[in-house]
Structure 1
């Protein structure tokens, strides 16, 4: 019989070897976690295999751990398959230590300060938007599957920032890169990854999870070739993209004891590619469902956009303060879409306490972000899509503390700033130029999602109508 450590959070009785896995739905465990929280409290424990994990529920509990006690809860588990694939390097899954701090600081500074003589982040997004608009206009009066459109657009924006170039959407190298990362993500969060993590004895067997290592190495090799090309063509001190910035950093630290090296660079680039693609493209697909289901909301956004733009050809990120309703709709799509419901798992960096419970060093911690995004005490309309969740009585945009789709604290999503800019600029441009409707041969889609580390809408087609006011 498995016994919890003294002072450990309570939870259901686990079975030998498999723990509580059979008590969680494989298709969507969020309702099971809610049920367990109602029984055991805001902090409870489970066993996934023979290893215990602690689940944090609700805004107050999550904020106390990840913000107030950030240094104690900002580690990453070292037993995940994806952690072994990346060897604990980069920023997403790296241990909470000097290398992670230096690389996160470097990445944030570089992304935030793209400009100053270089092509700004906003310019790169607007360039990709022109290709999105052209593709949509070619489908005027028709229907299309938005999945490839939004995924390739989000991928291209991050490629422009880190590789210095965008790809044509049908470029075979680009398609291979995207498909490889999609397959890798599916393997890294699927049932084979779970088997890898709870049954260490199986890790060296030729089972399907081995393909995840093969794909990652293949993508790394491609990225290394791009870095080699950059070395040949770069002008030191005049960076074109994040690779050049990193190579400049290597020059600066060549004679120092530094955590910067080419292996770290490759994994940092891939971390950024992953962080900047799936969640953003999935958020757009969730947003489109709500806009097609709620034509009144779509039209109100269009009117606000037209009033603010006043004939200008392109929006600016600075316009967001003048568009409170559009901002509210975008944020509500993130809240209601609940794209990353269980965040990226954390672990404790030392022996610590939380609300009277004892958590040993290395305890895996799962922040249930979904519980905060739908918490009844935090939202006016917690279980329905309603932009009023982000508007005060005067119609001004407000952001409640429970809004944490990117997580919170030191390990908040590295791509948050880029994602916010993409979501605003693309949404404004598309709602200004197009109306989106359900195709005549498709009923409105149930907004329920397919559960996963990235929770996504079911596949669908959308109808595209180019607005007459935008015709040249």
Structure 2
């Protein structure tokens, strides 16, 4: 019996030795993977950031891990991230294949589309269309401020109560982008509207969480009834509804008189109707719309929730923001995006919230488009690349107070906003987040409007604040409640 156990143990050891992964010559170093799992068992899949930072301390700013049998290069810190995504932007501009997010989007749209003509044309179209519908202009301000009135009305109803703001800010951000894409604003309790909100929140957690990692690493399990099936099902449900909206647009549109993004896309399809090589079609349109929906909702709403949490737990920061707002807006009924130039402290608070919250902790995974080199290492074409943006946003030596919430991280000695090359909450390079411009407008206009009207207070019975985030493609604060008070200030 003992001899059989020894033989079995030796067989297992031999199998592991034969199957163990050998890194290619001059490939970035990293921990030894084990067969089947790679390095997955060495990571806390609920939130791998701490483990990734720990491994970087041992193996360097550019190191490698294996997800199953698939090698991945992890970029840590400002120098490595900028060297790859900026200095060698084209080499690192691809998107990996075979992941859950690929299967959701089928590689179409812009977020998960691989680097190439379709991605370039659709990104250009999306940015141009957002500008045409007012991004950076007064018309977009009115759209955002109009939605903020709905938020304010609900907050006024909550005065004196302890309420959870989670869905409120998701609703507002989602409605703003829906009005641009679909030409309509939804009531917050609308069935399809709430389905979209749930789909984005759940899929964000699944895609970069344990079940997403299992899906990405173990293809044999993909057909089993595990939680990642819900992500696929929910995404397809929303796709079908968006297809219905597109069909209604086809029946009611007036060519070359676009009401929204869908009409603009249909105009593009008409324009290219006789071009057999056209990259614009219904499948691309649906995925692009869902990309815009995700890019325009999750990052903004989660950053607002994080900011409110930090302001409640740092009341002196909230008070200083309100003093600056009152001074700049004295005698006026509403804020303008141009006012940001007169509110350096408010800008610093928003940027510090983005930094400290690290809403896009691992960016969206990249992939090398050709054989390349980075900081002395050789990285083959098709290698998965993961920028650890959290490591950049908290890097010691790059920030005055890297591990605490402090707006002084963005202010010079004269109290003016100062730029920092490590501030990349939406990544950097050609694949940086498509929704950044809209997010910056929303964050400033919504937060200034709300802080002018309300004081946000941590509930006395809520216990100690927990700043541990809920990890996902977009990182969110844990659910919390707020107390809302009306401010005694004059708005003109």
Bin of the TM-score, shorter chain as denominator length: over 0.9
Deviates more, 1:233-242 or 1:356-365: 233-242
- Following superposition, the deviation at residue 206 of structure 1 comes to 4.1
The answer on 1:291 being equivalent to 2:315 is no
CA RMSD of aligned residues (A): 1.6
- Following superposition, the deviation at residue 285 of structure 1 comes to 1.1
Change (3 A) 1:357 1:299: same
Per the alignment, residue 381 of structure 1 pairs with 401
The answer on 1:400 being equivalent to 2:405 is no
Deviations 1:278-304 (A, max 9, x none): 111111111111101111111111111
Counterpart selection for 1:334 from 329, 343, 354: 354
- Following superposition, the deviation at residue 61 of structure 1 comes to 0.9
Structure number with bigger Rg: 2
Residue pair 1:293, 1:444 contacting (<8 A) in 2 also: no
Distance in 1 of aligned mates of 2:34 and 2:296: 39
Structure 2 spans left out of the alignment, 5+ residues: 1-19
- Following superposition, the deviation at residue 452 of structure 1 comes to 2.5
Counterpart selection for 1:280 from 297, 300, 313: 300
Residue pair 1:282, 1:457 contacting (<8 A) in 2 also: yes
| TM-score, normalised relative to structure 2 | 0.93
- Following superposition, the deviation at residue 423 of structure 1 comes to 0.2
Per the alignment, residue 416 of structure 1 pairs with 436
Counterpart selection for 1:253 from 253, 258, 272: 272
Residue pair 2:47, 2:209 contacting (<8 A) in 1 also: no
The answer on 1:36 being equivalent to 2:55 is yes
Counterpart selection for 1:47 from 58, 66, 79: 66
The aligned runs of 1:339-358 (5 Å cut-off) are: 339-358=359-378
- Following superposition, the deviation at residue 188 of structure 1 comes to 2.7
Distance in 2 of aligned mates of 1:447 and 1:202: 34
Per the alignment, residue 318 of structure 1 pairs with 338
Distance in 2 of aligned mates of 1:109 and 1:39: 44
Per the alignment, residue 44 of structure 2 pairs with 25
Residue pair 1:141, 1:466 contacting (<8 A) in 2 also: no
Per the alignment, residue 365 of structure 1 pairs with 385
The aligned runs of 1:67-78 (5 Å cut-off) are: 67-78=86-97
- Following superposition, the deviation at residue 92 of structure 1 comes to 0.3
Change (3 A) 1:312 1:444: farther
Deviations 1:364-414 (A, max 9, x none): 001011111011111011111110110111111112000011000000000
Deviations 1:68-100 (A, max 9, x none): 100000101101111012110010000100000
Residue pair 2:65, 2:73 contacting (<8 A) in 1 also: yes
| TM-score, normalised relative to structure 1 | 0.97
Distance in 1 of aligned mates of 2:237 and 2:462: 39
Distance in 2 of aligned mates of 1:263 and 1:197: 23
Per the alignment, residue 181 of structure 1 pairs with 200
Which secondary structure state, in structure 1, belongs to the residue aligned with residue 460 of structure 2?
coil
Residue pair 1:341, 1:370 contacting (<8 A) in 2 also: yes
Deviations 1:166-219 (A, max 9, x none): 111112221223223333333333322222211122223444423322222211
Residue pair 2:310, 2:405 contacting (<8 A) in 1 also: yes
Counterpart selection for 1:428 from 441, 445, 448: 448
Per the alignment, residue 234 of structure 2 pairs with 215
Structure 1 spans left out of the alignment, 5+ residues: none
Distance in 2 of aligned mates of 1:51 and 1:399: 37
Per the alignment, residue 134 of structure 1 pairs with 153
